[in-house]
Amino acid sequence: MKEPFQVLYVDDEEFLLDLARLFLERSGDMVVSVTTSPHEVLDHMESGRYDAIISDYEMPVMNGIELLKAVRERDTTFPFILFTGRGREEVAIEALNNGANFYLQKGGDPKAQFAELAHKVRQAILLNQTGKELHRSHQELSRASNRYKAFIAASNTGAWEYHSDTGYTWCSAEYFSMLGRDINAYDHAGAMNVKEVWEDLLHPDDRQKAKETFLAYVNRPVGMYEQYFRMLHIDGHYVWIWSRGRTILDDDGTPTPITVGTHIDITRQKEQEELLQKSHDEIQAAYDVIAKTGEELRASLDRLTIQEQALRESEEKFRTLFESAADGILILEDGKILDCNHQAEVLFRLSKNALIGRSPAELAPPFHPDGVLSHDLCAEKIRTVSAGGPVRFECVHQNSDGREFFAEVTLQQISIQGRAYLQAFIRDISDRKRAEMELIRKNEELATAYEEILSAEAEARESQDELIRKDLILQDTKNRLDDIIAFLPDATFAIDREGMVIAWNRAMEEMTGVMAEDMMGKGNYEYSLPFYNERRPMLIDLALTGDETIADRYPTISRKGSFLYSSEIFLPHFYQGRGGYFWFTSCPFFDHDGNITGAIECIRDITDRKRVEEALEKHLVALTRPLDDPALSFDEIFDIREIQKIQDEFAEAAGVASIITHPDGRPITRPSRFTRLCNDIIRKTELGCKNCYRSDAIIGSPYPDGPVVQPCMSGGLWDAGASIVVGNRHIANWLIGQVRNENQSEEAMREYAREIGADEEDIAAAFRDVPSMSYEQFSTIARFLFTLSKKLSESAYQNVQQARFIVDLGQQNKELCETQKRLREREDFLDSLTRTIPGVVYQFYAQPSGEMGLRYVSTRAEDILGITIDFDTFFDRFTTCVDERDREAFLRSIADAVREEKPWEFEGRFIKPTGEVIWFQGSSIPVREGDFLTFSGIILDITRRKQAEIELLERNREREETFKEAATLSESLREANKKLALLSSITRHDILNRVSVLMGYLDLAADLPAISDELMIYLKKCSSVTSDIARQIEFTRIYQDIGTHDPLWQRLDEMVGNVSIPQDISLVYVPTTVEIYADAMMVKVLENLFENAYRHGGTVTTISISTRKDGDRLVILVEDDGAGIADDEKERIFERGYGK
């Protein structure tokens, strides 16, 4: 007969101890010992006679949580159940976090309560016993594995494992040491290496036969593989090897691709065989001994290899799952970021260029929540990884928006082409942190459900315990995978083994316009329609089936490992038929047995990136053409949209017409402020238009000394022009005009109308509308146009020179990879764009002698600082304009930055030559160039920000005073509420304990034999009254919490469904999806309304609930068909002490 469980129950309520013992021992499978002292529990625990502990929470000297911590210091797995009247959620969480097996709240029906308590006790004991058995089994397996490894090493027998599907061969260290070689000199990363580790080391006379013998066995693996051959020792002589092996079979007896075996050095035996032929019998006996040893070793190695294969397959599954997740990845060298993936850019909201060169500590707040400096934490982890193996830790990062997030970081050392780097995997776990509480609750519910199944099927308890553990792991993995897929920034979907869609994330909905509910469960290549407008296999089907014919549908496919596929594709029907570029990545996923159960595919839209790259390449090619190349045009050097804007604003400000043309007069830009005379009349005639083009070409001809100002050769109006020249090449004319003066007559215009075939009256009327302007005023505008055109010419020439510099730099660095080349070109391009940013971009240098000079300053210096650009005097003039109050600190900050070679930052006041005072902010980063130290940076006008900061500081001081007053008042109220809540909870806890005991004894009395019917009626009435008392006391706890929690959205039909009413009363309610935003106590309001109706409504048979809208409010009506309240009593309902 099975021995009963020994249970120790501690509670400061002795009457509750006796009642619990009576109920628990009625089951017959446990014996309960009781005590009121937690210290006695610890003494009894040392005796080893008890199987579990039940503990109350609130006890003098030591509460239940403190007792739990003391128990866990002695035994981390000893079954411990917290059984308490404290119903607070924080108590339950604290108990479970400190290792309690279960948490159970007192109160309610005693039979159900103690039945549940007995069930939890049995469950905790059985789980503890099963865990100890698994721990012992694991230790025994580990010891056996260590013995096998030691045996292989001691026997100097080399082990090998060959994969016929990949050509990969794993070899033990002894395999190589018997050849005088080092295992670390060979690639064991999983690629085909059989030639390197075996074939190339065979004796030339043995190589062909050895390969044929081995391949013959692998192709038809029957029985045992065995042969002899010679292999090359590192010092040049050959070693005789006895090679034996066997192919591993699966559960059905089918050969797998894996063959395992051993190599034994038999050189001495061979030498003895050649020298001592006469001792054949002795050698044969030695061979028999070796064969027996090899057989035993092979059996041990077979078992070890199977275990290692299972582990390797498990690692491969998790690696595949990890590669499909969008974790941020950083590559570090010397503590600085060398490279990163796209997800890292998403996490930190910084471009790759902005991340490269930074330390990980710069991507975190200065201090972590535990007070550790981010810089110190980063340095410590890098030292740990450099000295040992990989580390995983949690830390806080910060993106460019200032938002902090929790991250899980895995840091490890990798080698690329013999050079050591650090690789960091960063996963945002902020959502996981917030979801931990919800996961704990869900896991508790799931465990309870599985344990009820175990209780109902006691005969299968042991097998179901193992099933529950696996299901929990599987569910957790599925939840994590679902969360990862749902929130991946890339469009992602997944299919099962039958090709049915099982996941379709939000990004996929946005990309395709197909919602998840319309795609889930669809098969027959439904998922390919949004991309190809036809049903066809996609990359995901190649990953799922391995059908290589699918690869023929893609231009190129790259493979990483055995299962990860990716391809770049152009889809012509996207973007209203303009087409788009997309990057597809897919891989399968596996069950715990290594079988493919489905596949996942991620799709990223790279259209914008591709088009920017194409446009940049086209622009760069144009800029690098020879200046005398006829194909080099104005619109290839300048942005026509920006030039058009400048032209329009210039024409409007000057009050003249304007246009930019080719050297031959053909228009490049749209006309600005053209008169009706020229635009709608003269240029609409064939001869007039031809004359206009000829005149524009002549007026826009290059003249280095100033603009050309003369009457138009077409209509005779005053025109002026300036040429735009790049180097010595004339590429465009900038023309203004269409104004008249007193020397131009209407009669001359009539004569010109007859010459070109235009209407005289129409041209005369249009001539009168032409604006007039003095020659001096028009000449002034023309000279300004000449200066502006000259600036455009210089800007164009600088762009061409910069483009040629970029190309020359690329030619000098051909040995760099294509990726580095593109990165450098983009950086050069971005550098040229810095001239348009709203700040003064500059670069100055410092020599070892202390001399400093300016290399570059952008033209914005004149607008922002009011200082003209002169490299020789700019620095001195800038220093002079710095306010005297800040000047000494300004110069000292520069000297410190140069001496310490650190970034320079400074804020101060600046007095413009006009007398205006502004605040400026300067910053720069130093770069060592031989003996020179170059600082590149920007100066910003921060006057508005400073004014706002001063105003904000004043407001903050006012708010702080208000907050201090409010905090003082709030603290006083909080202390008063704490005292009231403590008094209420202690009193309520004691009363509920005694009510529970009373209800327990009433249940025991009702079960006594030969009890009279009359006494049974009295007992039931006592039980009903006691239940009412318990419910009302419990309401005081709920009432205490009113207003302490935030309101939440609640469905009205769910609240109505949670309210119980007597069976003889009908509830009339039409379910709706109405949700209300109210306190969590709202359901208690409905309970009270229903209870008042059937308790005090007289002949109530029906209660109805309905809703109606009243403006922007919702009215909830609760009605019944009872007697109601008399009119003379309605006014007294809310009087103290009045009621029925």
For the chain, give percent helix, strand, coil, nearest 5.
50, 25, 25
Q: What is the pLDDT of residues 1103-1127, one digit of tens each?
A: 888 888 888 788 888 888 887 777 6
Both tokens of 816, joined, read 């760099």
pLDDT (0 to 100) of residue 1013 = 73
Least Cα distance to 135 among 76, 95, 81 occurs for 76
Least Cα distance to 16 among 1060, 993, 1056 occurs for 993
pLDDT (0 to 100) of residue 206 = 93
Q: What separation in angstroms does the CA of 482 have from each of 338, 587, 981?
A: 32, 16, 42
Whether residues 587 and 443 share a domain: the answer is: yes
Whether residues 995 and 1083 share a domain: the answer is: no
Query: The domain that contains 49 carries what CATH number?
Result: 3.40.50.2300
Residue with tokens 């309210």: 1059
pLDDT (0 to 100) of residue 1097 = 73
Whether residues 1012 and 1053 share a domain: the answer is: no
Instruction: Say if residue 314's pLDDT is above 60.
Output: no
Whether residues 1064 and 1094 share a domain: the answer is: yes
Q: What is the pLDDT of residues 1044-1063, one digit of tens each?
A: 566 788 888 888 887 877 77
pLDDT (0 to 100) of residue 570 = 92
User: What number is the average pLDDT over the span 149-169?
Assistant: 79
Q: What is the pLDDT of residues 525-575, one digit of tens each?
A: 999 999 999 999 999 999 999 898 998 999 889 888 777 889 999 999 888
Distance between CA atoms of 781 and 799, rounded to whole angstroms?
A: 27
Which amino acid is located at 132 in the chain?
A: K
Instruction: Say if residue 591's pLDDT is above 90.
Output: no
- Give whichever of 171-185, 297-311, 602-616, 1017-1031 has the largest mean pLDDT: 171-185
Residue 618 domain flag: no
Residue 653 domain flag: yes
pLDDT (0 to 100) of residue 1054 = 81
Q: What is the pLDDT of residues 1032-1045, one digit of tens each?
A: 666 666 555 555 56
pLDDT (0 to 100) of residue 834 = 47
Instruction: Say if residue 294's pLDDT is above 60.
Output: no
Distance between CA atoms of 153 and 142, rounded to whole angstroms?
A: 17
Residue 246 confidence class, pLDDT cut points 50, 70, 90 = very high
Instruction: Give 1012-1069 as a 3 state SS string.
Output: CHHHHHHHHHHHHHHHHHHHHHHHHHHHHCCCCCCCEEEEHHHHHHCCCCCCCCEEEC
- Give whichever of 106-120, 475-489, 882-896 has the largest mean pLDDT: 882-896
Residue 688 domain flag: yes
Residue 244 domain flag: yes
**Of 430-434, 719-723, 843-847, 881-885, where does mean pLDDT reach its minimum?**
430-434
pLDDT (0 to 100) of residue 1045 = 60
Residue 151 domain flag: no
Instruction: Say if residue 286's pLDDT is above 60.
Output: no
Distance between CA atoms of 512 and 407, rounded to whole angstroms?
A: 31
The residues with which 413 forms a beta bridge, in sequence order, are 422
Which amino acid is located at 877 in the chain?
A: R
Distance between CA atoms of 927 and 934, rounded to whole angstroms?
A: 5
User: What number is the average pLDDT over the span 768-772?
Assistant: 89
pLDDT (0 to 100) of residue 458 = 61
Residue with tokens 């920000």: 945
Residue 698 confidence class, pLDDT cut points 50, 70, 90 = confident
Domain closes at, from 585, 609, 633:
609
Least Cα distance to 173 among 201, 207, 202, 150 occurs for 150
pLDDT (0 to 100) of residue 93 = 86
Please state, rounded to an integer, the average pLDDT across all residues of the chain. 81
Whether residues 228 and 302 share a domain: the answer is: yes
Least Cα distance to 639 among 668, 608, 607, 674 occurs for 668
pLDDT (0 to 100) of residue 542 = 92
**Of 240-244, 547-551, 1076-1080, where does mean pLDDT reach its minimum?**
1076-1080
Instruction: Say if residue 1066's pLDDT is above 80.
Output: yes
Q: What total number of domains does the chain contain?
A: 8
pLDDT (0 to 100) of residue 887 = 93
Residue 319 confidence class, pLDDT cut points 50, 70, 90 = very low
The residues with which 53 forms a beta bridge, in sequence order, are 8, 80
Distance between CA atoms of 11 and 55, rounded to whole angstroms?
A: 6
Domain closes at, from 306, 323, 340:
323
Whether residues 416 and 469 share a domain: the answer is: no
Q: What does pTM read for this prediction?
A: 0.30
Q: What is the pLDDT of residues 320-329, one digit of tens each?
A: 544 554 688 9
pLDDT (0 to 100) of residue 87 = 61
Distance between CA atoms of 545 and 557, rounded to whole angstroms?
A: 16
Whether residues 130 and 252 share a domain: the answer is: no
pLDDT (0 to 100) of residue 432 = 78
Q: What is the pLDDT of residues 886-927, one digit of tens each?
A: 999 999 999 999 889 899 999 999 999 999 999 999 999 898
Q: What is the pLDDT of residues 939-983, one digit of tens each?
A: 999 998 888 888 888 888 888 887 787 677 667 666 655 665 555
Cβ atoms of residues 192 and 168 within 8 Å: yes
Whether residues 127 and 179 share a domain: the answer is: no
pLDDT (0 to 100) of residue 841 = 85
Distance between CA atoms of 882 and 880, rounded to whole angstroms?
A: 6
| Percent of the chain predicted with pLDDT > 90 | 22
User: What number is the average pLDDT over the span 705-712?
Assistant: 87
Which is higher by pLDDT, 468 or 652? 652
Whether residues 361 and 503 share a domain: the answer is: no
Both tokens of 143, joined, read 């010891």
Query: The domain that contains 1071 carries what CATH number?
Result: 3.30.565.10
Cβ atoms of residues 801 and 779 within 8 Å: no
Which is higher by pLDDT, 562 or 763? 763
**Of 598-602, 821-825, 897-901, 933-937, where does mean pLDDT reach its minimum?**
821-825
Instruction: Give 802-857 as a 3 state SS string.
Output: HHHHHHHHHHHCCCCCHHHHHHHHHHHHHHHHHHHCCCEEEEEEECCCCCEEEEEE
Whether residues 933 and 959 share a domain: the answer is: no
- Give whichever of 18-22, 684-688, 698-702 has the largest mean pLDDT: 684-688
CB burial string 337-376: b at 16+ within 10 A, e below: bebbbebbbebbebeeeebbebbbbebbeeeeeeeeebbe
Cβ atoms of residues 407 and 394 within 8 Å: yes
Whether residues 978 and 1110 share a domain: the answer is: no
Query: The domain that contains 258 carries what CATH number?
Result: 3.30.450.20
Whether residues 496 and 388 share a domain: the answer is: no
Residue 509 domain flag: yes
Domain closes at, from 557, 586, 609:
609
- State which residues form the domain around 61: 5-137
**Residue 188 per-residue DSSP state:** -
Residue 849 confidence class, pLDDT cut points 50, 70, 90 = confident
Residue 816 domain flag: no
pLDDT (0 to 100) of residue 315 = 47
Instruction: Say if residue 4's pLDDT is above 50.
Output: yes
pLDDT (0 to 100) of residue 537 = 95
pLDDT (0 to 100) of residue 830 = 46
Residue 142 domain flag: no
